[in-house]
């Protein structure tokens, strides 16, 4: 009886501990937000939510952008001086995530948002480990959590208040649910991940194709129905939201800090200005054709093949995405873990050493690269290069092993027996 009573109280105790930790983290984040103005990416979305909820003004209205500029610069932005206009530029249904924060003053909202991003990063690590089947010790799990929180892409996501941290978790959860054959929830999560379209723009069609080839109707239904409901609800609330968003997107080059980079592949083409235009087009076409071939090879294949191809799809997305952001690279954390997992199971001690070396290399190397290349307070385009190309080469490297369940099963059993 005592054991039963103790077990019944355990969930409440755990909830209490998590609540206390969350409150403490939010207080810390609030002090940070007050003492360190910033979070401009979140500010633009918060301002859109606040105007919409408090005054009934569309988040795409020029008043919203102007109010954001006033908070950041104290005056209307001057794009000629490299000042960002900070449009809302997200689908209206992203308000599912932003609207609650519009009810709070900005320092409180930013603190709560930072707490949400920190929790999302921790969850992303655990979901990614389960997704790729990487069994790690408590020590290594803690190290991976600290890595995800402290590496360049994680810190930048947190400081800017970028939604990419939460969206990366939505994508990883969707892939995990597909793996566990919870198809309807997976489709719903994928639909929600389109709240930041540039992160899901290729993963969604690939998943639909794979689901169709394997008769996974729940994925298709969950995704399309949810996306349809989101779109219809958005049009009912703000009829012209889509046109307004497209207008802001077309203005993107005039209000971003970068004038010389469209995608990481474009940056490579910039290194050879004499053939820049031709090379840029060629690289993007080749990347697109390659990805289509991989999608074709995944037709009617099992979930292990799907996971590898989904990982490659996320990598190529970040290589060719127009005006991508290094914060979007949070979605590549499961890809890193997949590569590292295969290394360990394939090469045992040597693989373990390679994992630790590369974790340190990314943790220290990316920050060092940023510090030696930073331009004013803006990251240099070179920051877009290391991670996606490492993941590209890494996925090619482990492709054969990642798609051979019999061999990996043997390795897992050997590891357990050892």
CB 222 within 8 A of CB 342: no
Q: Which pLDDT belongs to residue 368? A: 97
Q: Which pLDDT belongs to residue 208? A: 98
CB 170 within 8 A of CB 189: yes
- Write out the DSSP string of 143-193: HHHHHHHHSHHHHHHHHHT-THHHHHHHHHHHHHHHHTT-HHHHHHHHHHH
Q: Which residues contact 291 (CB under 8 A, 6 or more apart)?
A: 202, 312, 313, 316
Q: Which residues of the chain have pLDDT under 50?
A: 1-3, 255, 257-260, 406-410, 412-418
Residue 402: both structure tokens together? 């990642």
Tell me if residue 378 falls in helix, strand or coil: strand
CB 51 within 8 A of CB 67: yes
CA distance 213 to 138: 39
CA distance 369 to 382: 8
Q: Which pLDDT belongs to residue 409? A: 46
Q: Which pLDDT belongs to residue 260? A: 41
Query: CA 122, 126, 130: angle at the middle one, nearest 5?
Result: 165
Q: Which pLDDT belongs to residue 405? A: 59
Q: Which pLDDT belongs to residue 377? A: 75
CA distance 241 to 61: 10
Q: Which pLDDT belongs to residue 79? A: 80
CA distance 128 to 130: 5
> Residue by residue, what is the 3-state secondary structure of 294-348?
HHHHCCCCCHHHHHHHHHHHHHHHHHHCCCCCHHHHHHHHHHHHHHHHHHHHHHH
What radius of gyration do the chain's Cα atoms show? 22
Tell me if residue 37 falls in helix, strand or coil: coil
What does residue 110 show for φ and ψ, rounded to 5 degrees? Answer: -65, -40
Residues listed for the chain:
418
Residue 209: both structure tokens together? 């194709």
């Amino acid at each position: 009886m005592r054991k039963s009573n103790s077990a019944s109280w355990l969930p409440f105790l755990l909830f209490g501990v998590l609540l206390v930790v969350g409150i403490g983290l939010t207080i810390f984040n609030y002090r940070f937000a007050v003492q360190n103005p910033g979070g401009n990416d979140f500010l633009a979305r918060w301002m859109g939510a606040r105007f919409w909820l408090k005054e009934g003004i569309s988040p795409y209205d020029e008043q919203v952008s102007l109010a954001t500029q006033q908070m950041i610069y104290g005056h209307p932005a001057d794009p000629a001086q490299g000042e960002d206009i900070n449009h809302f530029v997200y689908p209206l249904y992203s308000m599912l995530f932003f609207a609650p924060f519009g009810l709070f003053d900005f320092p409180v909202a930013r603190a709560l948002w930072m707490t949400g991003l920190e929790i999302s990063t921790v969850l992303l690590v655990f979901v990614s480990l389960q997704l790729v089947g990487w069994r790690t010790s408590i020590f290594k799990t803690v190290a991976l959590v600290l890595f995800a929180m402290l590496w360049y892409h994680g810190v930048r996501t947190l400081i800017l208040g970028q939604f990419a941290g939460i969206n990366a978790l939505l994508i990883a959860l969707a892939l995990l649910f597909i793996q566990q054959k919870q198809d309807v929830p997976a489709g719903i999560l994928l639909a929600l991940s389109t709240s930041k379209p540039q992160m899901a723009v290729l993963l969604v069609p690939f998943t639909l194709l794979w689901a169709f080839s394997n008769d996974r109707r729940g994925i298709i239904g969950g995704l399309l129905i949810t996306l349809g409901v989101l779109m219809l609800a958005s049009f009912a609330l703000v009829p012209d939201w889509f046109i307004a968003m497209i207008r802001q997107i077309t203005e993107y080059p005039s209000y971003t800090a970068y004038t010389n980079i469209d995608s990481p592949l474009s940056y490579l083409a910039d290194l050879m200005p004499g053939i820049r235009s031709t090379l840029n087009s060629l690289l993007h076409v080749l990347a697109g054709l390659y990805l289509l071939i991989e999608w074709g090879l995944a037709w009617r294949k099992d979930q292990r093949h799907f996971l590898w191809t989904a990982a490659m799809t996320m990598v190529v997305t970040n290589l060719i995405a127009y005006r991508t952001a290094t914060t979007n690279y949070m979605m590549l954390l499961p890809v890193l873990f997949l590569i590292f997992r295969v290394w360990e199971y394939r090469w045992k001690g040597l693989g373990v050493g390679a994992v630790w070396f590369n974790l340190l290399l990314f943790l220290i190397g990316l920050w060092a690269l940023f510090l030696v290349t930073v331009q004013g307070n803006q990251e240099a385009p070179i920051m877009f290069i290391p991670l996606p190309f490492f993941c590209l080469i890494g996925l090619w490297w482990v492709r054969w092993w990642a798609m051979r369940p019999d061999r990996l099963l043997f390795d897992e059993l050997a590891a357990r027996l050892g």
